[in-house]
Every structure is written in structure tokens, then in C-alpha cells.
Structure 1
Amino acid sequence: MFRLSKNVRNLGWVSLFNDISSEMIYPLLPLFLNTVLGAGVVFIGLIEGMAESVSSFIKLFSGWLSDRVRKRKGLIFLGYLLASLTRPLIGLATSPSQVLFLRFFDRVGKGIRTSPRDALLSQSCELNERGKAFGFQRAMDHTGAMTGPLIGSLLMAVLTKDLRILFLLAFIPALICLFILWRGVKEVVKEPDLQSTPPRLHWKSWDRRFKYFLLIITLFTLGNSSDAFLLLRAQDFGLDVVSIPVLWFVFHLSKTIFSLPGASLSDRIGRRKVMILAWLLYSGVYWGFAYMTKSSHLWVLFTIYGLFYGLSEGTEKAWVADLVEEEKRGMAYGAYHFCIGVAAFPASLLMGLIWKALGVKWAFSFGALLALIAAFLTTVLLKEESKRKILY
């Protein structure tokens, strides 16, 4: 960790405090909408669906814009600022429509910041530390995701059960996030190539290997449905409402523990090998969920599932930087996040339809099969390249 650049370390701390702020209130948002503001489940689903869809499209545009203007920090700060302001304002909301409006801007903020942040992170580390840098960022993000709900629960236990006050208090870690970003993260400026043309949002402008990468990621994501289905599977085996949050905490703890070593492994043995291993692991876990016979299997499967995230999340992002030249990297991260976002919605829909029509074993087997296909296509289409060919 301490060999990483100041930019990488501070972007990690930014992610941690932002996630603490977000996760202090996110688990309580449906409860707030339903019990305080009287919103129905359909409206709650509308809020989340619209918010995530908008975020996916904005990630594509903001990445392109950061390449175009050759500056990333301003967009990153704007994105975190928008998200930070929405949290205390949700506490002041008096109608579900106001929460819809604010939740929309929270996801707009995420869309604005994500691609430029990933591009700046890739510029702030050496080639042989890209996996480690992204793994560190993911580990800090998951740490914040674990810590936020615990802080929220503690505040409700010892201070107040008023959800509006809790939403206002969530602004404190958000302010810390903004301070670290403003003072501790620096723009990485590269002299423009006078012969290069401005980046264009066009499929033909990408390198062939990056196109294959995007297609494989999209295919895999179609089988990577919402983790809510895993919790439904846990309920099938009689896991009670008290044990489920503990299981969820174990899952996030596993992701946190494995994120840094998992992504760092890709610096040593290559991104391709680690991603093939990750997808094979995912396939095994999903077949495990399909054919498990005891509730004790859940704890093992969720822990191994956390290992999958540790291997894949940072490695995927580091691989984007390897495949795309620096002046197009913001747009590349935008395309990467866009493909995942576009495929994520039909993935959960397909999972639900297969579960209902054919049963739980077929539903989980579908996700396992797509992961196997992704691993096979990576083996065939994305040959490992020497470091001298990797784009800096």
C-alpha cells in the first residue's frame, strides 16, 4: 500500500468516506420512503431503476469529456459534490417525488465521477502496479460499504432513531471525502500529441482486443444478476432475518480482504490469467448455489464469491488501461461501465424469468454457463501480450 502514489492512496480514502456516507443511509432509504413518506414498492423500484440507468449513460459521456478537455479532477469533484449534497437533502424531503429527484442526482453524480476517476487512477500509477492500485481502491470502497451501515446502526442505537437526522449526519463523512479530494488529489497532466485527433465516441476507433474485451464483459454480465437472488437462495434454506445481515457482512469482508491481493496478482501473472481464474471461480460458485444441500454451504459460497470480486474488480479496470492508450482512457472506462450497466438490467430479468419458469437450479446454472463461455472466449480471443506492447 505504502509504495502506491499519493494520488492512488487519496483516491482510496475518497472512496472510503464517500461509501461510509452513502451506506449510512442507503439500506434505510426504502424504509424511509415506505414508512415516512408512504411510497409503494413500485415507486421504490422506479427510483432505483431510473437512477442506475441514467448513471450508465452518463459514465460514457463523462469519460469522453475528460479525454476531450484533458482534465479529470474537476469532473470527479463535481460528481462527488452532487452525490454528497443529495444525502442531507433527502432528510429534508417531504414527498416521494422529491426523493426521486434527489436520488436521480445522486446517480448523476456517480455517473459523472466514475470514468474520469478510473482514468486518473490509471495515470497515477506505474504499469506494474495498476492491478494493485485498482485493488486498493476497491478494498477501500468495500471497507466503506461495511463501515457505513455499522455507523448508521450505532447512531440509531445510541443517538436517535429519526431517519431524517441520520441522513443529515451522513453529510459529515461526505465533507471529509470532498476535502481529501480537493486537497490531496492532483491532476496528472500529459502534453497533448499534436498529431492526435480528438477522441470520438465511435466503435471503430477502438483497438480490436478492447472490442473483444467489452463483448466478453457484456456477455458475462448477462449472467451476473443482482446479488439479491443469492439472499433469496439463502432464505430457501431457512436462514433467518437475523443471520442474513451477518452473512452479508461476511461477504463484504471477504471482498475487502481479497481485493488488494487479488488485483495485485494480475500485476505478476497477467490480467488474462486472473480473469479466467475469476470467471471459472464464479461458475463454480453459481453451480454451488444451484446444487447446494445444506445451509452451512452458504457461508462457504459467499466467502468464495467475495474472492471472485477480489480477483475480478481491480483486474478488469487495470486491463482497460492496458488495452487503451492514455488519451482515450476516460472514454474507454466510460464504455466499460456503460456495457456493464446496459447488461445488468436484463441479467436480473433473465434470472427471475428462468427461476420462475424452470426452477432455481436452471437459473443459477445459466449464470455459471455464461461465466464458462466468458473464460473460454478470453482464452481464445485475448492472448496475453508482452509488457512492451501494453499501452501506457
Structure 2
Amino acid sequence: MRAAGPSAAADIPVAGPAMSPWRFVVAFGTVSMLADFVYEGARSVTGPLLASLGASSLVVGVVTGVGEAAALVLRLVSGPLADRKRRFWAWTVAGYVLTVVTVPVLGLPGTLWAASLLVIAERVGKAVRSPAKDTLLSHATAVTGRGRGFAVHEAMDQVGALIGPLAVAGVLAVSGGRYGPALGVLAAPGVAALAVLAWLRARVPEPVAYEPMGTAPSTGAGQGVGLRLPREFWSYAAFTAATLTGFATFGVLSYHLVQRHLVPTAGVPVLYAAAMGADALAALGTGWAYDRVGPRTLAVLPLLAAVVPVLAFTNTVALVVIGALLWGAAMGVQESTLRATVADLVPPGRRATAYGLFAAVMGVATALGGVLAGALYAYSIPALITVTVAVQAVALGLFAMAGPRHG
């Protein structure tokens, strides 16, 4: 796979939009930070919440795996639709609204199946918005540098992902472990996210103007729909599918923490918050490296994924904590540098479609990973570790065969 290098100086404003590319990235990062406050706060207790309603480890693995699959596979529809209609802001706003509405409801009394459906519905909101949102962001990062732009956005994401779980942990601690109040407080940052998003859309209605002259498509509906995606994109997708198939969800990891009595329920979101801090640092580090050496940076992802279960599924608290932090670091690479590479491999006219297809591949692999980890955990932890390491070895082989280069 081949990716283009970073563009010109990031601090030079591009003619047209009402704010500089970096300001746009930071403003969009603020939206994502507030939204992450909401849904990462909820995700930090998904495993214990479902367990409190009677879920087994397999059910937790299936629900969290299918939820992540919904967040990714459904982009196969939302991505091409966004490219056809060029209504990127509309898709972005609709997806954030769905997430903001579903999360507080998750804390209300209900059945296991109702809670499971809400977990999946929240992830559908991410599927609706993500291809369009990433396309909007990719235009500005054409100027800031792909790796750095997506990394800064991801790091701001993780500020919210860190604060949200801590807020949930605090409310759980003072409310005697009641999920209703803990998830109800997440409504406020959700409303704030929608307000900032509306302001940003009014300020920069056409972020495509950031794209360097000669690469930006026209904004007409359907432009670029017939173009084929490059071969390098599919090689990259195959590697990504392999490495995510061997990557456990935090739902299974948190299930292990609670069932083995390694940490109290209120401590789970605290550990998740720490993992999100590792996520932010890894995003910044690999984003910086990507702009200098290219996609070769991604070789670190299967290595991290192979080590996580070796540490995280032990009965030693210190090792579990280290494993959770490495899980967070791997998530940082997935959420930033993987996205940056897609933007460099695919021209603007097909970028939302590419993000949708790429996310579909990720979604299938994530669903398999969640089910595989949940089933293997119930059967044998040594088997879980062995299979994960073997899958990541295959992923490294695919990565080497793809022969990534930096253009």
C-alpha cells in the first residue's frame, strides 16, 4: 500500500473557509471530546451493566462485538450515500443526535435485551456519522498533515473518553452503584456537543475548500461515485481485518475484572479512563511517526494486540492494569492512524465510500473478535491467548506482504 506524504504548512489558512485548518480540526475535536464524554462513559460500564442484568461472558462478548460491528458495518451504507448526496454535515449531525438520545436511556430500569438493544443503537449512531465526519475532517488534514491532524482529533476524543468514565465512576460511588444516575449525567455534555456542532457547521459549511487545488471534487451530488478504489486500499483492509479479529473488546476484559473480583465495579470505569489516556498518547505518537515514515508505523498494532490478552486476562492486578493500558494504546492506533491512511490512499471523491467500506471490514472483524474472545474466555484463557497471538502473527504476515511505502 502506498500513501501520500503530508501536505504544505499547516498554519497557512486556505482561502474560502472562515477558519484555519488547524482551528477546524480543534473545533471538530471539541465536538468529539464532548460526544466521547457521553458514549465512552457508557461503554466503560457496559460489561458490568449487562452482567448485573444476568448476562454471561458469551452474551457480553456477543453484544459488545455486534455493537462494534453495527458501528462499522453500517457505514457500508452511510458512506456511499454521503458521497452520492454530498450531505456530509446532515449525516454527521444525525449520528450525534442518535448517540446523545440513547445513552441516558440506557441507565433506566429494564431487561437485559432492552439494554443490549440500546448498546447496539448507540453504536448505530456512530455508523451514521463516521464516514461523513471523517471525510469533513480529511479535507482539513490535507493541509495540517494526515497523521498529525487525525492524531490531534483522536487525542481530544480521548480527553472526553477519560473524563466520561471518571464521571460515571464518581456517580456510581456516591449513588451506591446505581446505573441510572451515573448514565443520566451524560445528557449534559451530549447537548453541548450538538451546540458546538451546529456552530461549526454554520462557520464552515464546505470544508472541501481546504483540500489543495486540483484534488478537491465538485460538490455536486453523485460526483466520483463511479471511481474504483485502489488495489492498495484492499490490501490495507485485509491486514486490518486480520489484526482486529484477534482483538478483544473492553466488555470482555471488564467482565474478567468483575467476575474475578480484581477491582470493584466503580473501579472499572477508572481503569477504562486510564486506557483512554494511553489511547491519546499512542494516537499522538503514531500520528507523528506516520507523517515521517508512513504506514510502516502500523506494524505496532498487531504487536500490541498480541500482548494485551497475555497480561489483561491474568489474576494479577498490576498485569491486568498494564494489559488494559496496552489495549488503550492499540485503540489509539486504530482510531487515528488507520483513518489517516485511508485518507491518503483514496481520492476525495470516493473518500466517504472508502471509509464506509473500510469500516465494514473492520466491523465484521470486530464482531468476530468479540465473539471469539467471549467464547474462548468461557472455554479457556490459555486458549484465548494462544489463538490471539496466532491471529496477530497472520496479520503481521499480511502487513509485510502489502509492502507499505510512504510516497
Shorter-chain TM-score range: 0.7 to 0.9
Aligned residue identity for 1:85: V
TM superposition shift of 1:378: 1.7
Residue aligning to 2:387:
366
TM superposition shift of 1:307: 3.4
Question: Do structure 1's residue 66 and structure 2's residue 82 form an aligned pair?
Answer: yes
Aligned-CA RMSD value: 3.7
TM superposition shift of 1:373: 2.4
TM superposition shift of 1:134: 1.4
Residue aligning to 2:17:
none
Residue aligning to 1:116:
132
Question: Do structure 1's residue 270 and structure 2's residue 294 form an aligned pair?
Answer: yes
Give distance in 1, aligned partners of 2:47 and 2:306.
Answer: 32
Give distance in 2, aligned partners of 1:163 and 1:349.
Answer: 25
> Runs of 5+ in structure 2 lacking a partner?
1-9, 12-20, 209-215
Give distance in 2, aligned partners of 1:28 and 1:231.
Answer: 8
Structure 1's 377 and 31: CA in aligned 2 closer, same or farther, altered over 3 A?
closer
Residue aligning to 2:24:
7
Residue aligning to 1:384:
405
Aligned residue identity for 2:402: L
Structure 1's 132 and 176: CA in aligned 2 closer, same or farther, altered over 3 A?
same
Give distance in 1, aligned partners of 2:184 and 2:372.
Answer: 38
Match runs of 1:1-392 below 5 Å: 5-27=22-44, 40-41=54-55, 51-90=67-106, 103=119, 105-126=121-142, 129-155=145-171, 164=180, 167-185=183-201, 186=204, 187-189=206-208, 190-192=216-218, 198-199=224-225, 205-231=228-254, 239-241=262-264, 246-271=270-295, 273-287=296-310, 295-355=317-377, 359-386=380-407
Report percent identity of matched pairs.
23
8 A Cα contact 2:64 2:370, kept in partner: no
TM superposition shift of 1:323: 0.8
Flag the structure with more relative contact order, 1 or 2, with Cα contacts below 8 A and sequence separation at least 6: 2
8 A Cα contact 1:79 1:109, kept in partner: yes
SS in 2 for 1:270: helix
Give distance in 2, aligned partners of 1:44 and 1:361.
Answer: 20
Structure 1's 66 and 131: CA in aligned 2 closer, same or farther, altered over 3 A?
same
CA offsets, 1:87-138, max 9 Å, x none? 4455677777765665554333221101111111111123662111211222
8 A Cα contact 2:29 2:156, kept in partner: yes
TM superposition shift of 1:22: 2.5
Give distance in 1, aligned partners of 2:377 and 2:110.
Answer: 38
Structure 1's 51 and 362: CA in aligned 2 closer, same or farther, altered over 3 A?
closer
Give distance in 2, aligned partners of 1:179 and 1:117.
Answer: 16
Aligned residue identity for 2:236: F
Give distance in 2, aligned partners of 1:79 and 1:145.
Answer: 18
Q: How many residue pairs get matched?
A: 375
Give distance in 2, aligned partners of 1:17 and 1:230.
Answer: 25
Give distance in 1, aligned partners of 2:398 and 2:37.
Answer: 37
CA offsets, 1:142-198, max 9 Å, x none? 22122112223444666898754554442211111011111124232344299x964
Structure 1's 72 and 197: CA in aligned 2 closer, same or farther, altered over 3 A?
closer
SS in 2 for 1:199: coil
Bigger mean CA offset, 238-247 vs 130-139: 238-247
Give distance in 2, aligned partners of 1:311 and 1:146.
Answer: 17
Residue aligning to 2:7:
none
TM superposition shift of 1:211: 0.8
Structure 1's 21 and 209: CA in aligned 2 closer, same or farther, altered over 3 A?
same
8 A Cα contact 1:129 1:267, kept in partner: yes
8 A Cα contact 2:29 2:153, kept in partner: yes
Structure 1's 347 and 21: CA in aligned 2 closer, same or farther, altered over 3 A?
closer
Task: State the TM-score, normalizing by the size of structure 2.
Answer: 0.77
SS in 2 for 1:192: coil
> Runs of 5+ in structure 1 lacking a partner?
387-392
